[in-house]
Chain A
Amino acid sequence: MDQKLTERERNAQMKKEALISVAMYVIFFLWWYFTGYGLAGENQSYTMGIPNWFLLSSVVGYVLFSAATIIVVKLFFKNFSLEEAADDPEAAKK
């Protein structure tokens, strides 16, 4: 059974999680942009025939983002009851 939070705590937690999601999105964008456009060009380097801008932005970026998702979800996202709040007037009556 999931822990019950008060309405206020639930809303604060959800806001925090939404902000973290946006931050992750922005960080992925920056990684994608700078490894992609930063390393591509006339004298771009290659690893095993594949350009490094692509390896870093799209392959390594994907692996890192997946790893970051696992870590962030475990560390910052909380489990709580979606049904009832701890200070729900009806729940209090029971």
Chain B
Amino acid sequence: MSYSATLITVLVIYLLANLAIGLYASKIQARKDAAAGKGFVNNYFIGGRSMGGLVLAMTLIATFTSASSFIGGPGVAYSRGLSWVYLSMIQVPTAFIILGILGKKFAIIARKTEAVTVTDYLRARYKSPAVVIISTVALILFFMAQMVSQFLGGAILFETVTGMPYIWGLVLFGVVVILYTAIGGFQAVVITDTIQGLIMVLGGFIILYTIISVGGGLEAITTKLNTVNPVWSDITSGGTLAKNYLMSFWVLVGIGVLGLPQTAVRGMGFKNTKSLHDAMIYGTIVVGFLMLVMHFAGVLIPAILDPNEVKTADYVIPAVVMKHMNPVMAGLFIAAPLSAVMSTVSALLLLASAALIKDLYLNYIAKEKGEGAAKTDAAFTKKISAMSTATTFVVGFIVFLFTIYPPDLIVWINLFAMGGLECAFLCPILFGLYWKGANATGALLSSVISVAAFLIITTQKISFFGMTPIVPSILISIVVFVIGCQFGKKSDKETIDLFFN
């Protein structure tokens, strides 16, 4: 078999395994949930709250580790050196802080209110249709844009490594991820996340081992780096990476992720406090490992590749793979970034579908039926089940089409997706859990104004002490939230009792 045929065979086997395991696990869970009397909505969107520690840790990591951790990030580290690894290590405490702050509180509230989405929680906390609708729209828009960019990243990688047209790669992993997400729901998403997370760890070992052995050991490599890329050991990358800029990433990838609905919702799906504690430990170890190893690998690459072999930053890792790995290893390694793509897309896809079915349809259109009916009325359950699967398919298909013909608007929205989500959700989620004074007025104003501020600051390139635009935007969201809560109706006693006793 030729090099690329072997490589593609390895990838196809891996993708089919994901599909099979995802669907099988969801079938088993559906049977268990049906026996325990948990309804379809609860099963499809949150997996009957049955995640254990390893699965919780892996799904959290797989969701926020995207293709850029494997391709773009190491590509930047290639020229910037250790300062970029230093920056990426900000993410070490991320899993810990997300689970430590949101985990138990979210778990209890979600059980009391039967919430399966972050919007469910916002609805219970703020009792405001405006908050629900605005957050749902923000979520769907930003998620679509993020999914398209993930698919694009994966497809381009596929094209670079195999030499086949990128549409083939897209069809291959796009169809697999849409299928298992649409049919299997949450359980398929988290079990595949776990496999994908383990493959990512394996990918980290493979790339670092390859580079160090090709380069003749760490000492030989570092000696060579001193001549080929002298800024590699400088914390400012030769004066190009300012301290304020680097530090402001603590806000974007550290604190801000508390406001990402795709990570926050993981706090609603775990089984018990022991799963949470285990996940905090596994999560910290695995995130740190991935960030350290992948970016450090990028730093070492100048010692084993000539500059003329590298066209762009995104080409650094694929170039090493093609030049120095046998096709089976290459297939296993490329499975890692594709896993990162699939796990991120599957999480977003399911949440986008949940937003449409659960947050909009069940709340506002099929209101008279309500959530209770979904459990007792068999015909209605069947209808919701068919609708949910169909909605996931349709959203997935639209994303697929957008990836083939990317509309300018989607490309533009993606630039703001992560920061925009953080601005829209951080304060309403965090203050709602820990501050009795939080109310709908504050939540609404804070989301709308800070997202607008974020757009303006980014597009007008307004500088704020040389930090990334997310820092002033989050500050604005906090100030607006606190001021906004001084006006408008206070939360009623029932809500306060439910959340704070």
| Residues of chain A at the chain B interface (Cβ within 8 Å) | 2, 7-8, 10-11, 14-15, 17-18, 20-22, 24-25, 28-29, 32-33, 36-37, 40-41, 44, 46, 48-51, 53-54, 57-59, 61-62, 65-66, 69-70, 73-74, 77-83
Contact = CB atoms under 8 A, between A and B. Distances in A.
A20 B100 contact: yes
B440 interface: no
A73 B82 contact: no
B172 interface: no
Given A32-B90, A66-B288, A58 B111 contact: no
Ranked 7 nearest A-B pairs via Cβ: A21-B100, A49-B222, A40-B235, A7-B501, A62-B288, A58-B89, A79-B273
A80 B273 contact: yes
A80 B96 CA distance: 19
A8 B222 CA distance: 56
B222 A78 contact: no
18 contacts: A14-B104, A17-B100, A21-B96, A24-B93, A24-B97, A28-B92, A28-B93, A53-B235, A54-B86, A62-B288, A65-B288, A66-B285, A69-B280, A70-B281, A73-B280, A80-B273, A82-B272, A83-B111
A25 B93 contact: yes
* Chain B: number of interface residues, binned into ranges: 35 or more
Contacts of A70: 281
A25 B288 contact: no
Contacts of A17: 100, 104
Contacts of B168: none
B53 to A, nearest CB: 11
Interface string B190-229: 0000000000000000000000000000110111000000
Contacts of B100: 17-18, 20-21, 24
A29 B501 contact: no
A44 B92 contact: no
Contact of A2 (B111, B272, B281): B272
Q: Is the interface of B mostly helix, strand, loop or mixed?
A: helix
Contacts of A7: 501
Contact of A65 (B86, B92, B274): B92
Contacts of A14: 104-105, 108
B250 interface: yes
Given A54-B233, A61-B89, A82 B96 contact: no
Interface of B: 82, 85-86, 89-90, 92-93, 96-97, 100-101, 104-105, 107-108, 111, 218-219, 221-223, 233-235, 243, 247, 250, 254, 272-274, 277, 280-281, 284-285, 288, 292, 434, 500-501
A49 B192 CA distance: 40
Contacts of A57: 86, 89
A33 B434 CA distance: 29
A7 B331 CA distance: 52
A18 B223 contact: no
Contacts of B221: 49
| Most chain A beta-carbon neighbours within 10 Å: one of B90, B93, B108, B285 | B93
Given A58-B89, A78-B273, A83-B111, 4 more contacts: A10-B104, A40-B234, A48-B218, A62-B292
B58 to A, nearest CB: 16
Contact of B92 (A11, A51, A61): A61
Nearest to A46: B233
A69 B250 CA distance: 19
A81 B437 CA distance: 27
